[in-house]
Amino acid sequence: MSVTVSEKNITQEIASGIEKNLDVNSSDGALRKEALEAFRTLGLPPNKSEEYKFTPITRALEKNFEFSGQNAIVKEFDITPVAIPGLDADVLVFLNGVFSKTASSITSKNLTVLPIQEAIASKNEVALKHLGKYADFKTDALVAWNTAAFQDGVFVHVADNTIIEKPVVLYHIHDASAGQVISLNRNLIVVGKSSSVTVLEKFDSTGSANFSNTVTEAVVAENAGLELYSIQNDNGPRYQFGLTQIHQSNFSRVNTYTFTLSGKLVRNNLHFVLNGEGIESHMYGLYLLAKDTLADNHTVVDHKKPNSFSNELYKGIMGDSSKGVFNGKIYVRPDAQKTNAFQANRNILLTDKATVNTKPQLEIWADDVKCSHGCTTGQLDEEALFYLQTRGIGKDTALAMMLYAFAGEVLEYVKHPVIKEYLDNVISERLHKNF
């Protein structure tokens, strides 16, 4: 007889750990308490649950982590090797989930950039007004967990009519060389009317098993712009859950870029609510997977009002025995006439063992809309490979050229030149580009 480990156990273990540290009298105490209750009620997703069908995150947590201990404290870390070279930015560094003032450098004066704990402790009105209002912790236990127990993250507030040129960059460093690391990061980005900002998160880890649960809420006001990058390139036993919840108003523009290049299990939830007219939302994703990496991108785009445009392009290359998952939901509400919503997911499988599961889900209640979706999965074009070889190009180089060409389409949309060059190098190296 097989014994199934009950998921309730780790839910309870995590919940009682949270409860011990919960200060209900703090500015966010009520929110955290409510989220904790939701976390208990929901429980971590059981295996085969619909939303986590291909991504057994609960089992991975059970198997690889203890929930009673504390993270090792890392006092210093040289971020030079993981930093994006030549990028002029306001930098926040989080070491095992904890903000490091010494490693960070915030110089911009025309916007508010604060560690979120500081924003809450100082009762920042904007932060408290928006915190926890968008990321729904009542349907997903992982979001509830984060909301109840988040350690730190960034609060970015751009006032009205302000264009911020310098990106805000978050380096999340996990040093699990002295033992496992679990970090819960929480970001809140508020972009005022007719303003714009770029925020980039990059994750790096060393050592043994480490997990991060990151929730980012972004509120983008009328006519404002936001560029949001997430770069996930961790080797080793790296587990990651993230929810990025974006709330857009009239005529705002948001581009998100999600790059998953390594890791053990990565789940990215990206939810857009288009609560206005004339909105543009672009979601770009690239996952280049090898070994036994599992990367699961779940996106939701909710068109609530007329005349908005959303466009989604996710591409993946799966090698070895890696697994890709893409699930793209698009809702077009009854009011959202004249919506344009496009979605494309393209995949290349390099081996027989690599897999991808891709699923578009369109639910359309309005009748005057343009929506399209397309999924393709295939092997590399052998005829094209042969063609390149007949010109004297070695098979490895030819392969790299073709993969780079496939992946490079996503890079074309990256606007920031320094970030683009960095990603280009990382991807080229990853695909062994030597031409």
Partner 1 sequence: MLTIKNLQAKIGDKQILNGINLDIKPGEVHAIMGPNGSGKSTLASVLAGREEFEVTGGEVEFLGKDLLELAPEERAREGVFLAFQYPVEIPGVSTINFMKTAVNQIRVHRGQQALDAVSFLGLMREKMKLVEIDQSLLNRSLNEGFSGGEKKRNEIFQMAMLEPKLAILDETDSGLDIDALKIVSNGVNKLRNKSNAVIVVTHYQRLLDYIVPDFVHVLYKGKIVKSGTKELALELEAKGYDWIKDEVSVA
3-class secondary structure, 290: coil
* Binding piece for partner 1, criterion CB under 8 A, among 174-182, 198-206, 281-289, 404-412: 404-412
Burial degree of 357 (CB within 10 A; 0-12, 13-18, 19+): middle
Region of 304 (left: φ > 0; alpha: ψ -120 to 50; beta: rest) is: alpha
Complex with partner 1: residue 49 or 397, whichever CB lies closer: 397
* Binding piece for partner 1, criterion CB under 8 A, among 65-73, 87-95, 198-206, 377-385: 377-385
Does the CA dihedral 92-95-99-101 come out positive or negative?
Answer: negative
Exactly one of 386, 417, 425, 429 binds partner 1 (CB under 8 A); that residue is: 386
3-class secondary structure, 434: coil
Does the CA dihedral 35-36-41-44 come out positive or negative?
Answer: positive
Task: Report if residue 374 touches partner 1, rule: CB under 8 A.
Answer: no
What character string, x for contact with partner 1 (CB under 8 A) and - otherwise, covers 127-166?
Answer: ----------------------------------------
Task: Report if residue 429 touches partner 1, rule: CB under 8 A.
Answer: no
What character string, x for contact with partner 1 (CB under 8 A) and - otherwise, covers 407-426?
Answer: -xx-----------------
Binding-residue total with partner 1 (CB under 8 A) = 23
CA–CA distance, 406 with 403 (Å, rounded to integer): 5
Exactly one of 22, 402, 418, 426 binds partner 1 (CB under 8 A); that residue is: 402
Complex with partner 1: residue 122 or 351, whichever CB lies closer: 351
Helix, strand and coil content of the chain, in percent to the nearest 5, comes to 25, 40, 35
Least separation in angstroms between residue 399's CB and partner 1 is 12
Give me the torsion for CA of 326, 207, 175, 433, rounded to 10°.
-50
What character string, x for contact with partner 1 (CB under 8 A) and - otherwise, covers 256-295?
Answer: ----------------------------------------
Length of the chain: 435
Complex with partner 1: residue 127 or 398, whichever CB lies closer: 398
CA–CA distance from 373 to each of 248, 311, 329, 361 (Å)?
22, 10, 10, 9
Task: Report if residue 383 touches partner 1, rule: CB under 8 A.
Answer: yes
| Residues found near partner 1 in the complex (CB under 8 A) | 381, 383-384, 386-395, 397-398, 401-402, 404-406, 408-409, 435
